[in-house]
Amino acid sequence: MSKATVIAVDGPGGAGKGELTRRLASELGFKLLDSGAIYRVLAYAARKAGLALFDEDSLCQEAAVMDLSFEPTEKGVHVLLGGQDVSSAIRTEEAGVNASKVAQLPSVRKALLQRQRDFRQEPGLVADGRDMGTVVFPDAQVKIFLDAAAEVRAQRRVKQLQSAGKEADFELILSEIKERDERDRNRLIAPLKPADDAVVLDSSELGIDEVFARAMEIIKSRISI
Ligand code: DC
């Protein structure tokens, strides 16, 4: 029996994967996996439990038992931990850095593997992350690597924060982005890199409509929809 279609979208933080994968899932009527949210929730739960972010054994236990669920609403998908909405709490810069730290640990990644694979269901899945096409779904029918220059990603983040009425320091955000890229790209297990059979799409000079249109072209060239 052939497996349900997976469209894997990998790339660094801030390249626009979130917006792109939401649109693709909605256009195709596919399910959506935001794998970064899983790492973010684990780091958040660990912090709440007073665990150190390098305590691999305890983090693995937490990964195995944490009661995580995604709830689609009109305003987007809410992330629930033990029934509590943690969507905003896991979206801070600090939560991203903490997620990137726990994501370096090999046994933590292993403990979260099946949880991610369980999202593969008919009629198909759009999976957003760093290792969707390389490790979690190596047999994904479509693999896209969405990239963008660090400066462009930092500028986008500044705009996002400012439009939410928050303060944003470009230089600080840029250095955090570079530091997180460095950790995600150079870790020993499942480092951030395009799969050999991925199509690389650089969004530095493209708006979301154009990125979406190009991604749809790539998808149509690989699968019949
Ligand atoms: O996509 P994001 O910014 O929500 O991800 C947060 C961190 O989680 C990211 O810096 C690295 C880690 N991550 C990962 O290692 N593998 C994934 N598939 C998704 C995220």
Tell me: the pLDDT tens digits for 64-112?
999 999 998 887 899 999 999 999 999 998 999 999 999 999 999 999 9
Mutate which of 92, 98, 100 for ligand 1 pocket (most atoms within 8 A of beta carbon): 100
For 29-43, 52-66, 70-84, which range has the lowest pLDDT when averaged over its residues?
70-84
Pocket of ligand 1 contains residue 40 by CB under 6 Å: yes
Question: What confidence score (pLDDT) does residue 110 get?
Answer: 97
Predicted pLDDT at 75: 79
The answer, yes or no, to whether any atom of ligand 1 lies below 6 A from the CB of 21, is no
**Range scoring the smallest mean pLDDT among 49-58, 134-143, 156-165, 192-201:** 156-165
* Chain mean pLDDT for the chain: 95
Q: How confident is the model at residue 124 (pLDDT cuts 50, 70, 90)?
A: very high
| pLDDT per residue as tens digits for the range 193-209 | 999 999 999 999 999 99
CA of 196 to the centre of ligand 1 (A): 20
- Convert 81-105 to b/e letters by CB count within 10 Å (16 or more is b): beeeebbebbeebebbebbbbbbbb
Tokens 């033990």 label which residue?
82
Checking if the pLDDT of 192 tops 70, the result is yes
- What is the percentage of the chain residues whose pLDDT exceeds 70? 100
Out of 9, 34, 35, give the residue to mutate to test ligand 1, the one with the largest number of ligand atoms within 8 Å of its CB.
35
pLDDT at 25 over 90: yes
User: Angle 56-65/35-48 helices, nearest 10 degrees?
Assistant: 110
- Evaluate if pTM is beyond 0.85: yes
Nearest CA to ligand 1 atom 15: 103
Residue carrying structure tokens 């905003």: 88
**Which residues lie below 8 Å from residue 122, measured CB to CB, with a gap of 6+?**
4
Residue 188 Cα to ligand 1 midpoint, Å, equals 15
109 C-beta closer than 6 A to ligand 1: no
Q: pLDDT-derived band of residue 1, with 50, 70 and 90 as boundaries?
A: low
Residues 151 and 174: their CA atoms lie apart, in Å, by 6
Nearest residue by C-alpha to atom 4 in ligand 1: 36
Q: Whose CA is nearest to atom 16 of ligand 1?
A: 130
How far does the centroid of ligand 1 lie from the alpha carbon of residue 162, in Å? 23
Does 173 score more than 70 pLDDT?
Answer: yes
So what's the pLDDT on residue 2? 78
- Cβ contact 162:168 at 8 Å: yes
State whether the beta carbon of 100 lies less than 6 angstroms from ligand 1: yes
pLDDT of amino acid 72: 86
CB atoms within 10 A of CB 214: 18
pLDDT tens digits for 180-190?
999 999 999 99
Cα–Cα distances in angstroms (integers) from residue 97 to residues 13, 124, 179, 184, in the given order: 11, 30, 9, 10
Mean pLDDT, residues 123-135? 97
Q: Return the residue whose CA atom lies nearest to atom 3 of ligand 1.
A: 13
Burial per residue of 43-65, b for 16 or more beta-carbon CB atoms within 10 angstroms, e otherwise: bbbbbeeebebeebeebbebbee
Angle (deg, nearest 10), helices 35-48 and 93-102: 90
